[in-house]
Structure 1
């Protein structure tokens, strides 16, 4: 028995060791180095002098950091909750379809998710560009004044949030469909025997049973959108990037444009802490609200 247990332990260690080694090399080691770098005045490449918490205290009076923080929070508010409900609505609609039509509609909604961000940028630039965008020609036909969406501070974040929802909702739709298909049909049959309306069935049956999937979709969305960079960077081209600054964009500026690796690392550590805290709080709040329900 002891030899058998020892053999299983050795096999388990042999299987786990490659993953642990790669995880430590790719994630744990760079994270520790980033944390240590945040206490120095080092450039992007090369050593620097130890400066303590100076890089962190500077952030309290850094106007661009404030702009990046609040723009990131604003974008998360515009994209995560609306995107979750949009994906839920699409999943409920697709679930009512059948056969090849369901597969076709699902493929159409999932197609944007597999596109690279450069293609997404080109599609929406052709659509919303102030000079030659398709939407602007529609505005002309309707007698509506053209709006420079991606060069306007007021319109930029809502437009990028809309693009992001269109781009990423396909994956959330798949998660919700999986949750819907896991609900036993007998529960709906019992609700029908009780003459429950569609809204009552959704509120009393579908929504509570979909709550774990909803929590997962919200958590994934929070983590992803807190780290937004690609869309903002591309759509800010030729516009006002400092007004549209988000956290990762600011890290990019400090590290690659200003060659301030220490200060960029400090911002990255703050963002890492925000992502961890928000994710844990979101998960705990979801679990508490589910328990009360």
Structure 2
């Protein structure tokens, strides 16, 4: 019964990964396998200013989205969990953006933040080109991403809240716990495993950012929002340098894996 899954996993995940590692040691183009060049591509990557710049942009995006998404998702889950009659409506309303494809999400926000007729500029009296200004482009993409993905994190937190036994709250109330004390000493510690999961999932998703940046800003202005996956895409499909693109992919995989493991280790120490 495991054979279909294992075959699919090996064929579409393990083999491409091993193939990418192999290509990273070659001078391959996009269509032809090139000569073996050893660690030349990795030596080039170490001194590649464009790669390190894209890595910094990716890290900034992760910083702008990881903790805010978790915090807002938790607040939304706490609010929904306290509702009685309108719980299902609020749950559907908050979760709706998550089911939208990225193309729809970006199109909606391009209209909302349009510099000429966007509703945000009209309501605030500003005349800001949100996606075309160096100081606001990445932050704006982060805001769009948080709005789009926070519904799923809310759902995870809500599931955790509903699994906390009511008897625990009743016992705390009998001991005199009230308000924030209940959240600090009961809800938050029991939600910590869910919080760890949310933070790790969001960090990985944020580091893998591509579609929103590619559609909303194209990496601009002046490459200020070009992230690692976009740089890898441009290297492979525009510059037709498959070997070096594979090197970027392997290096970035190791960076994401290391950061995820470090985050998991740090979070587990606090639990």
Do the two structures share a fold, i.e. TM-score over 0.5? yes
Aligned-residue CA RMSD (Å): 1.2
Cα distance per residue 1:189-231 (max 9 Å; x no partner): 1111122121111110000000000000011101111100000
Range with greater deviation from structure 2 (153-162 or 104-113): 153-162
CA–CA separation in structure 2 for the residues paired with 1:163 and 1:264: 28
Residue number among 32, 50, 54 corresponding to 1:46 in the alignment = 32
Partner residue, 2:196: 215
Deviation, structure 1 residue 243? 2.1
Partner residue, 2:212: 231
CA–CA separation in structure 1 for the residues paired with 2:211 and 2:188: 33
Contact 1:64/1:245 (8 A) holds in 2: no
Contact 1:40/1:49 (8 A) holds in 2: yes
CA–CA separation in structure 1 for the residues paired with 2:257 and 2:137: 27
Corresponding position: 1:175 with 2:153: no
Deviation, structure 1 residue 287? 1.3
Corresponding position: 1:76 with 2:62: yes
Deviation, structure 1 residue 164? 0.5
Contact 1:121/1:235 (8 A) holds in 2: yes
Contact 2:59/2:207 (8 A) holds in 1: yes
Partner residue, 1:59: 45
Partner residue, 1:11: none
Ranges in structure 2 where 5+ consecutive residues have no aligned partner: none
Cα distance per residue 1:75-134 (max 9 Å; x no partner): 0000001110000000000000013x1000010100000000010011101111112211
CA–CA separation in structure 2 for the residues paired with 1:125 and 1:61: 36
Aligned CA distance change for structure 1 residues 184 and 238 (closer, same or farther; 3 Å): closer
Residue number among 104, 115, 119 corresponding to 2:100 in the alignment = 115
Corresponding position: 1:92 with 2:78: yes
Higher percent of residues as helix: 1
Residue number among 110, 133, 137 corresponding to 2:118 in the alignment = 133
Contact 1:64/1:242 (8 A) holds in 2: no
Partner residue, 2:109: 124
Range with greater deviation from structure 2 (276-285 or 204-213): 276-285
CA–CA separation in structure 2 for the residues paired with 1:102 and 1:274: 40
Partner residue, 1:191: 172
CA–CA separation in structure 1 for the residues paired with 2:3 and 2:195: 34
Aligned 1:141-290 pairs, distance under 5 A: 145-237=126-218, 239-240=220-221, 242-290=223-271
Count how many residue pairs are aligned between Structure 1 and Structure 2. 271
Contact 1:44/1:260 (8 A) holds in 2: yes
Deviation, structure 1 residue 258? 0.6
Q: Which runs of 4+ in 1 moved over 3 A?
A: none
Q: Quick check: which has more Rg, 1 or 2?
A: 1
Deviation, structure 1 residue 60? 2.0
Deviation, structure 1 residue 240? 2.3
